[in-house]
Amino acid sequence: VTDAARGPAAKMAAPARLCRCLLPLLLAAMGAGAAAGTPGTAGCGCSANRAAGDGREEAAQRFSAAAAAGSGVSLCLPGLFAVQMVLIPAGVFTMGTQEPQIQQDGEGPARRVHLGSFYMDQYEVSNRDFESFVNATGYVTEAEKFGDSFVFEGMLSEAVKADIHQAVAAAPWWLPVKGASWRHPEGPGSSISSRMDHPVLHVSWNDALAFCRWAGKRLPTEAEWEYGCRGGLESRLFPWGNKLQPKGQHYANIWQGEFPTNNTAEDGYRGTAPVSAFPPNGYGLYNMVGNAWEWTSDWWAVHHSPQELHNPQGPPSGTDRVKKGGSYMCHKSYCYRYRCAARSQNTPDSSASNLGFRYHSAFANFFF
Ligand SMILES: [Ca+2]
Ligand SMILES: [Ca+2]
């Protein structure tokens, strides 16, 4: 754990209620798939990576297959796992931007992308959602197996900090905290009991994949995520338009003040916010930017063809996975990544106190 890393408007779709309980059955039947510096500088320290490549993805897939084969089904109680997804209509949009704000992230070039319709969760996966998964399956996250996870220094107590003697050189505000996990986001002594409706944190890409497979869902591709983020608007910076704070209102949970020393929490939240906080975008999706970073299924690459694409899945291989949307830690001066075109990456086994996910499905209409 030493490597620093970079760290028109469509109508609101009617929320479709979906029973997650039934989905493992469907999964088995259908074989559902897998689912700081200044702006423009490399290594801004948005996030921290574990060293890559120790075969944990394979382990997660084995677990997921086992979960899909039955262990999740026995605890199915209709309504217990009711979740809300919205239908994102098929269409074509401009992915990326011709005016990249962070050049080395591969935000450009702008390219036309066609997508079929799909369903997306309105919210980031919450602690409550993840607890349901863990209670049903006994799943142990990678942070729990490793025994530590990265936590933003500003969220830690002095007692926890006193025990830590290493940090990420390029991003000293990221500290590897023993015992930090989704249940204990700021390490031993911290709890999620008052944050069950906040996004789950400290989940690796492999953990997210295991959850999605248990739920009969998958992670969105980067293209699907970005299309959802744009909410039916064309080539805007944010899910709601180009102005960060229309009429002085906050539309996302990011950082106000001076990073990393002073978070004024003018938007109401110093850390995460409930997954239903702030207004939804044109598709009815909440917190697409800000709050928690969200994993996507794509491998990371920074060079993209300008050619028109249909349902792109990203590069065929890689070492890192793409995450989108920025987090409560993002400030324009250091990590201007709370934009739909912005992107960053981590190794699939990395976890941190600002990284979560939401899920996607092509099959929600099956349950109406
Ligand atoms: Ca905030
Ligand atoms: Ca988010």
pLDDT at 263: 97
What pLDDT, on the 0 to 100 scale, is given for residue 362? 76
Provide the terminal-to-terminal Cα distance of the chain, rounded to the nearest Å.
Answer: 45
Residues within 5 A (CB) of ion ligand 2: 287, 291-292, 325
Least confident among 35-39, 57-61, 71-75, 256-260: 71-75
Q: Each residue of 181-227: pLDDT tens digit?
A: 999 999 999 999 999 999 999 999 999 999 999 999 999 999 999 99
Nearest ligand, CA 281? 2
Q: Is the pLDDT of residue 25 over 90?
A: no
Would you state the pLDDT for residue 190? 97
**Ligand 2 centroid – CA 323 distance (Å):** 10
3-state SS assignment for residue 365: helix
Quote the CA–CA distance of 190 and 206 in Å, as a whole number: 24
Q: What element of type H or E holds 149?
A: strand 148-152
| Mean pLDDT lowest among 79-83, 130-134, 290-294 | 79-83
Is residue 77 predicted with pLDDT exceeding 70? no
By DSSP bridging, strand 262-263 and strand 257-258 are antiparallel
pLDDT, residue 187, reads 95
Distance between CA atoms of residues 355 and 295, nearest Å: 8
Q: How far is the CA of 274 from the centre of ligand 1 (A)?
A: 12
Give the three-state DSSP class for 222: helix
Above pLDDT 90, what percent of the chain?
70
Predicted confidence band at 165 (pLDDT cuts at 50, 70, 90)? confident
Q: What is the number of alpha carbons within 13 Å of residue 204 lying toward its C-beta?
A: 29
How much is the pLDDT for 246?
Answer: 97
**What is the 288 CA–ligand 2 centroid distance (Å)?**
4
Is pLDDT at 3 greater than 50 in this prediction? no
d(CA 304, CA 226): 15
Q: How far is the CA of 172 from the centre of ligand 1 (A)?
A: 20
Dump pLDDT digits (tens) for 79-106. Answer: 344 468 999 999 999 999 999 999 999 9
3-state secondary structure 178-233: ECCECCECCCCCCCCCCCCCCECCCCCHHHHHHHHHHHCCECCCHHHHHHHHHCCC
Q: Rounded mean pLDDT of 30-56?
A: 44
Closest ligand (CA of 327): 2
Burial of 149 (0-12, 13-18, 19+ CB in 10 A): buried
Report the DSSP beta bridge partners of residue 152: 174
pLDDT, residue 51, reads: 55
Identify whether the C-beta of residue 124 lies closer than 8 Å to the C-beta of residue 291: yes
Name the band, by pLDDT with cuts 50, 70 and 90, for residue 237.
very high
Which of 118, 264, 143, 249 has its CA nearest to residue 200? Answer: 143
Residue 227 CA to residue 232 CA, distance in Å, equals 8
Which ligand sits nearest to residue 331's alpha carbon? Answer: 1
**CA 300 – CA 317 distance, rounded (Å):** 8
Q: Which residue has the tokens 């899910």?
A: 239
- Ligand in nearest proximity to the CA of 290: 2
Q: Would you state the structure tokens that stand for residue 333, as one six-digit string? A: 């001066």
Report the distance separating Cα 94 and Cα 234, nearest Å. Answer: 7
pLDDT over 90 (residue 122): yes
Instruction: Determine how β-strand 47-48 pairs with β-strand 4-5.
Output: antiparallel
Distance (Å) of CA 256 to CA 72, 93, 102, 152, 162: 41, 31, 20, 16, 27
Reported as a single tens digit per residue, the pLDDT across 299-342 is 999 999 999 999 999 999 999 999 999 999 999 999 999 999 99
Q: Distance from the CA of 277 to the center of ligand 1, in angstroms?
A: 11
Confidence of residue 24 (pLDDT cuts 50, 70, 90): very low
List 126's β-bridge partners, or say none. Answer: 199
Region for residue 143 given its phi and psi (left: phi exceeds 0; alpha: psi -120 to 50; beta: otherwise): alpha
Instruction: Report CA(269)–ligand 1 centroid distance (Å).
Output: 4
Q: Torsion over CA of 330, 333, 335 and 338, rounded to 10 degrees?
A: 60
Cβ(78)–Cβ(21) below 8 Å = yes
CA of 327 to the centre of ligand 1 (A): 9
pLDDT bin (cut points 50, 70, 90) of residue 50 is confident
Looking at residue 363, its pLDDT comes to: 64
- pLDDT for res 167: 80
Contact 329, 323 (CB under 8 A): no
Residues in the chain: 368
* 3 state SS of 120: strand
Q: Which residues pair with 321 in a beta bridge?
A: 299, 346
Q: How far is the CA of 327 from the centre of ligand 2 (A)?
A: 6
pLDDT of residue 10: 29
pLDDT given at position 41 = 34
Read off the pLDDT of residues 344-355 as tens digits, 9 standing for 90 and up: 999 999 999 999
CA torsion through residues 244, 125, 355, 258, sign: positive
Q: 184: CA distance to ligand 1 center in Å?
A: 20
Is 60 exceeded by the pLDDT of residue 52? no
Higher pLDDT, 365 or 325: 325
Asked if residues 4 and 36 have their Cβ atoms less than 8 Å apart, the reply is no
The answer to whether residue 19 scores a pLDDT higher than 80 is no
**Residue 106: predicted pLDDT:** 98
Which listed ligand is nearest to 257 at the C-alpha?
Answer: 1
Candidates 257, 234, 230; CA nearest to 339 is: 230
